Every structure is written in C-alpha cells, then in structure tokens.
Amino acid sequence: MDEVEPDTEARRLAGQARDRVRFEEEALALADQVYRVARRMVSTREEAEDLVQDTYARAFRSWQSYTPGTNLRAWLLRILTNLNLDRGRRIQRRPDETPLDEGDYYLANRLAEQAGEQTLDQDRAVERLSQDSIVNALAGISDDFRDVVVLVDIGEFSYADAAQILDVPIGTVMSRLHRGRKALRQALAEEAA
C-alpha cells in the first residue's frame, strides 16, 4: 500500500471500519452472557441458538445505532427480547398457575417440612434443590414473570436496565420481579416434593 496521504473520505471509511471491528469484537465477547440469558428465556436450546444468531445478525447490521460507551449487553438483550416477542409468545399465564398468598418463607418451610426438620437446615435445604429443578421451575412460570426474573436474578441487570430492555416502566419490572420470584419459589416447592 502506498503511503499517500489519504483524503478525507478514505480516512472516514477506514475509521468506520475500525469502529465496526471494535463493535463486533465487543459484541462477540458478550455472546456467552447473551446466550446465558436467552437460554433461560425460551424453552429449548434450539430456540435459544436461533434467537442469539438472529440477534447478532441484526446487531451487526445496525451496529451504528449503538452509542459507544453505553451498556452494550443491554442493547443486545433489547434486540433479543424484541425478536423473541416477534416470534409470538406462548400463553401469558399457565392456566393452573394460581398465585399463592403465601409469605416469602414458603419454600424454606416446605423444604424443612419435607426433610422432617423441626429446625430449618438452611444449607442442606438449598443443596437439595437440583440444577434441573431450577431450570424446570423457571421454564414453568409465565413469560412476563420469567423475563424479569431471568434478567435481574440471572443476568444481574439493574431494574432500570431491565425496564429499558423490556420497554416497560420500572414499576412494572419491580412488580413482575416480586411476583415472578414468588411463582418461581412456589414452583421449586412443587418440584422438590
């Protein structure tokens, strides 16, 4: 390549190419984290793979709409969540899902009961929950609840980021998180029985 002074347009294109490469590398570095969230939002591994692949295809096409320095992981999850919605959601609520009016010690108490403990052995109780039971219980709660629980309790997003990702008010995030956690723990109590 000649060391001729590049004109403005060539310089601009080279800069843009560098920006795109940097964007792609940063985005790909987050793929494992994006997949981790996607996998728990949908039923099957196949769905998760398709969703993540479509998300990255769209992300790479519209990379210039991302503002450098802002939360790229949230930006990607926003795309993913929208794509997931576009696919047509499953039923909003399971027909047999009656919200329990139990308190927040419910799961602990049920586990103690099942183990025949007078006094809760809190460490043993958690250990008795299998990985599968967590996955199954999550898959069983309604979509709206699961989205928030997955984003906040697994993806570790803030309420504000989750609200942006889902395009709902922050109050809705907090309400769905509270109810979603309750539903999840109820499902875990049933799984462990």
Partner 1 sequence: MTGEHVPCDKCEELLHGYLDRTLSDEEVAQAEEHLDGCDYCRRRYRFEDSLRTYIRVAAVERIPTGLMARLEQLRTDGPGAA
Cβ-proximal residues to 161 (8 Å cutoff; 6+ apart), any chain: 71, 74, 151
- Helix, strand, coil percentages (3-state) for the chain, rounded to 5, are 70, 0, 30
Q: Residue 107's closest CA among 178, 41, 193, 40?
A: 193
**In this complex, which beta carbon is closest to partner 1, that of residue 130 or of residue 167?**
130
CB-nearer residue toward partner 1: 95 or 116:
116
Binding mask 169-188 for partner 1 (x = CB under 8 A): ---------x--x--xx---
Q: How far is the CB of 82 from partner 1 (least distance, A)?
A: 18
168 forms part of the interface with partner 1 (CB under 8 A)? no
Cβ atoms of 30 and 73 closer than 8 Å: yes
What track of x and - describes contact with partner 1 for positions 28 through 67 (by CB under 8 A)?
x--xx-xxx--xx----x---x--xx--xx--x-------
Residue 94 identity (one-letter amino acid): R
Note whether 138 binds partner 1 by CB under 8 A.
Answer: yes
How far CA 154 is from CA of 27, 109, 146, 147, in Å, comes to: 19, 24, 10, 10
Which residue carries 């109810």 as its tokens? 179
CB of 172 to partner 1, least distance (A): 16
* Interface residue list for partner 1 (CB under 8 A): 13-14, 17, 21, 24-25, 28, 31-32, 34-36, 39-40, 45, 49, 52-53, 56-57, 60, 103-105, 107-108, 119-120, 122-123, 125-126, 129, 131, 134-135, 138, 150, 153-154, 156, 178, 181, 184-185
